[in-house]
Structure 1
Amino acid sequence: MWRSLCAVLVALLACLFGLLTFLVDPWITDPPRHHQVDVRTATDYAVTADQTGKLPVLLLMTEAVNAAMVTHALLVADAARPFFQVHLASFGGAYAKLLEESGFAYHVLSPVWTEEQTAAIYAVDQFESFSSPYTKEVLQEQISSSLQLYSKIAPSAVVAFFVLSASISARIARLPLFVDMSMTRETSTDPRAIAVSMPDSGVVAKLGLRTPLSHMASWLMKRLNFITPAFEAVAREWNITGIHLVWDLMEGDYTVISDIPSWAGVDAAALPPQVTYVGPLYGKLKKDIPKEVLQLRERATSEKQPLVWFAMGSSGQPPLVLATLRELLKQQPKWFIVAPVHALLAKLKINASDASAKAEAGLDSPQLYIPPELLPSQKVEPLCDLALTHGGQGTVHTSMCSGVPFVGVGMMPEQDLNIRLAVNKGMAIQAMKFDPPSQIAGLMHDLAHSPEMRIAASKIREECQEYTGEYAFVELIQQKLAGK
């Protein structure tokens, strides 16, 4: 009996240790602050920048499965237009149309992500699956396709917006690699930052487990490498070393942080020389405000009701989005809501452009507008009184720079951190994706009746004007290419 129990216990411990070693490298005692990649690939693959044109070529590579990454790329492309011949590239995705219609030269690389692979990317990103779509075969084809493009257009530099294979392909071609990041690895893995990302009302905080759990999470996050084996294997084939942790895939020769140091609690003077903060980057689509939004604003003002911005990004979980939107309509039937969640509802087979489909889904309300396409959030959100968002960095910055208080429901740890920064500024309320939708909708009521948060949000809006974001990004690229 006891022998059997011991055998089961040993087996469980072995499984637990096996999972641990799959997720992290437990043998690293002192993880690096910033990676150093060593490239020994034959210079046959090196690309010499095209000097024949009037302007140097700049290649912006973005994951078009993610709306935030596409909007970041388009922001930088517009800012770079006077100084570079700008080219855009992606491996396809739901938001590739924005790249195609941008007016810039656009290249579709292979292999194009399938819907299944896109779902896997989000599942891994949200720690809901450990089945990575980045197989060795996928990476080899991505790198081959990228190298062909580099050779064709001869860029002076590559800028990657979450294109992880660029960490290898740009190095093979000996091209300077600039990477857009939301925060440094030190900020993301700091126990204090992780601790404050946990809501004050949560079970963890009530049981006094914030400190031990945050240190445990910090230890794990500093050593994450569960998707890197395929990258390491491919990199070795090209005689490249130094790519081992997840963070190594997300940093470049120059890592650009789209945030404000004081907001993140960072001492800019203490940063590694490869890391630069440029200020907020958030979507600024070149579109007009739909008449439906203006009509809702007019009605909300006339009826003295709030207008809500309900934006859950491209990483929002469709079932949660649907349930929370239903609850908000149920609890606040007089409120007016602009909800750019058409693509998320489509994943549930709900066509939000069809009145009968909306009614069947419990979303039949003249107070609710679900646009069929992305909206120019930088124009629409300032018209709103409060917001409910998923906490993506660009979405949080849009709220902060629009002066709109919000309830944030993070889908992943990074988004919880983004939300907490706004909470600390006094302009947001934090919820968790595991909270009941009725509770999340109830927090919107609390927010609507908090004049203090509206005042705090207005002050934060003024701070945003001091940073230039995409223009600082382009200036940094120019400086580094000039050897400054």
Structure 2
Amino acid sequence: MNTVLFAPETFNLAETTRAIEVARRLRDRHECVFTGYSERYAGLIEEAGFDYHALAPPLTEEQADQAIRFDQGRGLDHPFTPEMFRARVESERALNTLLRPAATVIGSTLSQFVSARADNVPLIYIKPFAYSWPHLRQSPALPVLPGRGRLARTVNATTARLLRETARHTTLKPRGWVRVARENGVRLPRRTVDALDGDLNLVASIRLRPYLLPPNYRWVGPIYAHLDHELPPQVPRVVSKARKRQRPVVYFAMGSSANRDIVLSVLRELSRLPVTVLAPVARYLRPDDHPGLGEHVHVFDLLPAHLLDDLIDASVIHGGEGTVQTAAASGKPFVGIGLQFEQRWNVDECVRFGNAVGLSPRQAHGEPLRRAFEAVLHDPALRTRAQDLRALVAGIDGAQAAADHIHALTRT
């Protein structure tokens, strides 16, 4: 049985859970082994029954938060120095020697673009469609400004053209990445967009428009977490109590890329509304935050969101692939607060489809948030379109499709 190595950035919840879901569909055909640097979500891998190799240098919690801030444009510094790249590649190549994988499956782990190619291991990238090269080539507009007014349309269309032409010619890459690649005999593709492609790229997004893909891309469809957790006993009790009081039940999730300020701000706004909130956001809060949220806001660690479909009335989410796909599968509309460009695009696609209301982080308070929330709870058009999207994605098993493509590649 061949070994397939899964190497997501394990500080990223969506990447980690996507990899787990694909590995589950592949484990009867291949030995699936995981590796990573952050302990933040590595425990989910071991809970799912997979071997996990924690590599050096470990990524600290502070470094993981720094990487997220950099990704969102909220910080200029990142932890991925030339020294870190060099150490990562050394660790990864040693693991390749030990395991001799038939393929390496990544999320956004830049060092694996070097390690896998240096060791002639096929590299498979499970990725969002947003801001990939085929997306930039075909998108008429990008959601930089919210709304559909003339200014927003002009700015968003102009941004798409500028970014498309920039991506067409840009060769800029992290210096450490290029240097370490050269040291390991790997010549990265000249254009940045090409350097960020795997040998095979599996698009794990909801397809709402007829985009075309290049030959090294496959559209597999939604892949989102199905955690091996039972619902806490508190959840059915809370929902039952809310139903008796005719209080809508709201799911509030911000993935792994939010911050305390935005989480606390939205929770405080929700606590003022006549709703009951289920919020798996405990990692963002301090103990002294909880008393100020009131009796109808219930905070948890991770929840198996796929088990909440029939218990909730709407969601408030950050727009990451996993949360959007979970909301789509629930058949309930959502308020999306995109924190970075990919998330804004995910939300905007659903706004266009008609099952969501989008807000910028600056709008996620006071009257704008209350109006958005009233809409997802009571607008019949939004609720109908949410059911339509649920029907559209029903039966699409992106994880199975991804596993089949990986299996086919390793057999050739």
TM-score if structure 2 supplies the norm length? Answer: 0.93
Quote how far apart the aligned CAs of 1:296 are. 2.0
SS in 2 for 1:408: strand
SS in 2 for 1:322: helix
Q: Which amino acid aligns with 1:233?
A: R
Does the CA-based 8 Å contact 1:134-1:227 persist in structure 2?
no
Quote how far apart the aligned CAs of 1:304 are. 1.9
2:399 to 456, 459, 470: 470
SS in 2 for 1:235: helix
Q: Which amino acid aligns with 2:248?
A: P
Distance in 2 between residues matched to 1:480 and 1:139, nearest whole Å: 27
* 1:306-455 alignment runs, 5 A limit: 306-330=248-272, 332=273, 334-345=274-285, 350-351=286-287, 357-359=289-291, 362-363=292-293, 365-371=294-300, 373-438=301-366, 439-455=368-384
Distance in 2 between residues matched to 1:258 and 1:91, nearest whole Å: 23
Q: Which amino acid aligns with 1:475?
A: D
Quote how far apart the aligned CAs of 1:198 are. 3.7
Q: Which residue of 1 aligns with 2:152?
A: 205
Shift in alpha-carbon separation, 1:428–1:466, aligned structure 2, 3 A: same
Shift in alpha-carbon separation, 1:382–1:217, aligned structure 2, 3 A: farther
Quote how far apart the aligned CAs of 1:227 are. 5.1
What is the Cα-based RMSD across aligned positions, in Å?
Answer: 2.1
Which protein is bigger by CA-based radius of gyration? Answer: 1
Does the CA-based 8 Å contact 1:339-1:368 persist in structure 2?
yes
Q: Which amino acid aligns with 2:48?
A: S
Does the CA-based 8 Å contact 1:254-1:275 persist in structure 2?
yes
1:132 to 78, 86, 89: 78
What CA deviation, in whole Å up to 9, does each residue of 1:6-58 have, x standing for no partner?
Answer: xxxxxxxxxxxxxxxxxxxxxxxxxxxxxxxxxxxxxxxxxxxxxxxxx2111
Distance in 1 between residues matched to 2:122 and 2:68, nearest whole Å: 28
Does the CA-based 8 Å contact 1:143-1:169 persist in structure 2?
yes
Q: Which residue of 2 aligns with 1:456?
A: 385
SS in 2 for 1:374: coil
SS in 2 for 1:230: helix
Distance in 1 between residues matched to 2:69 and 2:255, nearest whole Å: 15
* 1:59-458 alignment runs, 5 A limit: 59-183=5-129, 185-190=132-137, 192-196=139-143, 198-200=145-147, 204-205=151-152, 208-220=154-166, 228-248=174-194, 250-261=196-207, 263-267=208-212, 271-330=213-272, 332=273, 334-345=274-285, 350-351=286-287, 357-359=289-291, 362-363=292-293, 365-371=294-300, 373-438=301-366, 439-458=368-387
Identity of aligned residues (%): 28
SS in 1 for 2:142: helix
Distance in 2 between residues matched to 1:221 and 1:328, nearest whole Å: 40
Quote how far apart the aligned CAs of 1:202 are. 7.3
Distance in 1 between residues matched to 2:167 and 2:17, nearest whole Å: 27
Quote how far apart the aligned CAs of 1:452 are. 1.2
Quote how far apart the aligned CAs of 1:248 are. 4.1
SS in 1 for 2:362: coil
Q: Which amino acid aligns with 1:235?
A: A
Distance in 1 between residues matched to 2:271 and 2:255, nearest whole Å: 20
Distance in 2 between residues matched to 1:146 and 1:132, nearest whole Å: 20
Quote how far apart the aligned CAs of 1:137 are. 0.6
Distance in 2 between residues matched to 1:229 and 1:156, nearest whole Å: 29
What CA deviation, in whole Å up to 9, does each residue of 1:238-289 have, x standing for no partner?
Answer: 222234555345421101100244x14413xxx2111001110011101111
* 1:15-34 alignment runs, 5 A limit: none
Name the count of aligned residue pairs: 410
Quote how far apart the aligned CAs of 1:213 are. 3.5
Q: Which amino acid aligns with 1:171?
A: R
Shift in alpha-carbon separation, 1:436–1:393, aligned structure 2, 3 A: closer
